[in-house]
Amino acid sequence: MSESRFRAATTGRRTRRFLVGAATLVLATTGLGACQSDTTGSPSGSRGSQGSTGTTQAAAAPAKLRVSSSIGDRTDAVPVDKQVRITASGGTLDSVSVGSPAGALAGELSQDSSSWTASDRLEPGSDYVVRAVAERADGKKVTRTSRFHTADLTLAQQTYASVAPLAGETVGVGMPVIVTFDVPVTDRASIEKHMSVTASPRQPGTWHWLSDTEVHWRPKSYWKAGSDVSVDVDINSVPAGGGIYGQESRHVDFAVGDAHVYKVDAQTDQMQVFSNGKLLRTLPITTGKPGFTTRSGIKVIIEKFDSKRMNSETVGIPAGSADAYDIDNVQWAMRVTYSGEFIHAAPWSVGYQGSSNVSHGCTGMSTADAAWLYAMSRRGDVVEYTGTDRPMTLDNGYGDWNASYADYRAASALS
């Protein structure tokens, strides 16, 4: 149920909505230079007012107005991670606009109006126009205009982030935030500094890198039921290492539903179903038989299928072997590991449910019980398994809860 990856069709310049960025600027000959001044005043040799003593008083010339850019005079293409900053001396900035066909670059004037600093980063392969209106000490306004072009980036030089949960999704209390990149990130710290997760009510949490292409965030404890969560992956034009830059910033809002926690005991072959701390039902189940032991630990529902074909070859059991199977219509199936463990209806094993473990690792129950559980469950609901000596791992599904918070946080690039 991962999010569809967006990639532009071209391998040269790309067109996309204008997002947060930063850069300095290349200046046109008639535009802002490293230091330009405006010295308009009384012409040389002009007469001033006549004083009572008959001497000529020279008119006071206004202070020279200088409008400067943050990079001076350069004619090469501007890297997308450079910051645009315009400053004025001998006067103040009245307004600054920096724009391209993709849109305007956000920025702010300083409190004393002596400088303007971009709060956005630039798009690659784009033409920008800078227009600065400044006011001299004598009140006269002067306009300076310049143009610059940013460096082109191919798709191979950009990494796009996919985010789970999806925007507007309601998930269970065990759901991690998952960000996956289509081009590896080698400067993890640079990217992580520009990603954040905020929740209401507030809950502490941390990032955890599983690889150069996948990073998760989880709260210290399970999400509080009813939380509203916002994810900001503000990586557009941020260096990702090795000449790679973030391709597009992402913002995702999602909600956390009721606290569903299902407790499976592989010794007693029972599942206790809790919602918001209240025991709703206890269901007879069966788990993995010897040689196919179900993993113990904390699992999270990854995806749901009202009907799914299950073939033993997908989990390494060859066709024709004594344990081979190929079931076309397994009902009410909910995946809890990438390696193939599901909770599902198993009408063929009802006689063993509640007393024996006869599955190939899945958690089987009656069709009626599976339908009831399926109807109330959602992605991110927690299933806690005990009773076996085979441990769950962090990377076999949403296994984020199978490490202490301190150990989990140690895999943050900023820890």
Positions marked active-site: 344, 362
Tokens for 300, please give them. Answer: 């999270």
CA distance 143 to 126: 23
Q: Two tokens at 48? A: 């001033």
What span, in angstroms and rounded, lies between the C-alpha atoms of 94 and 313?
A: 70
Is the CB of residue 117 less than 8 Å from the CB of residue 93?
no
152, 359 Cβ separation under 8 angstroms:
no
Nearest to 157 by CA among 243, 95, 98: 243
Which residue do the tokens 């206890």 mark? 282
Cα angle vertex 413, ends 407, 415, to 5°? 55
Q: How far apart are CA 378 and CA 381, in angstroms?
A: 6
State how beta strands 382-386 and 260-265 pair: parallel
